[in-house]
Amino acid sequence: MGSDEWARQRKDNHKEVERRRRGNINEGINELGRIVPNGSGEKSKGAILSRAVQYIHHLKENEARNIEKWTLEKLLMDQAMGDLQAQLEETRRAWEEERQGREKAEREVVELRKTTGPNGAGNGAGTKRVSEDGDGKEDDGKRQKTE
């Protein structure tokens, strides 16, 4: 293989490589032209690239606004969740107090039934009750009107 033939082959290879490179660039620019919104309808390579740059900036600004918006929404949602969890705990606490009060009342009813008998008549005649006014004195079951 002579030196001239080798130089010609090298030059042809270079032309082919350059042709493929330009083809790839043109395919990329055409793809950008299809993807990027086209307000002006211009199809020159420079206009397509310029629109692509503007569109990318626009997308980045939207992304920043959306991130800020989503961050605020997440903070508000976290706060609302915390409030709801506190309400749930308060409701559980109140429910537990009510349950304990109900159980205590049921135990008291059982004890009263044991001491008064099944009909509520007491354990026999002559049983005296302690007055409800808290003075510790027994009464005969008759109440006096107080004014």
**Residue 24 belongs to domain with CATH number:** 4.10.280.10
Residue 129 lies in a domain: no
Instruction: Give me the helices (H) in the chain, please.
Output: 3-35, 45-116
Residue 3 lies in a domain: no
Interval 28-49: pLDDT, tens: 999 999 999 886 777 899 999 9
- CA angle 141-144-147, nearest 5°? 150
The region, left, alpha or beta by phi > 0 then psi within -120 to 50, assigned to residue 60 is alpha
139 bridge partner residues: 129
What is the average per-residue pLDDT within 105-129?
Answer: 74
Residue 21 lies in a domain: yes
How many separate domains does the chain show? 1
Quote the pTM value: 0.51
Q: How far apart are CA 62 and CA 29, in angstroms?
A: 24
Q: Does pLDDT of 125 surpass 50?
A: no
Q: The domain containing residue 31 runs over which residues? A: 9-115
> For position 117, what pLDDT does the model report?
73
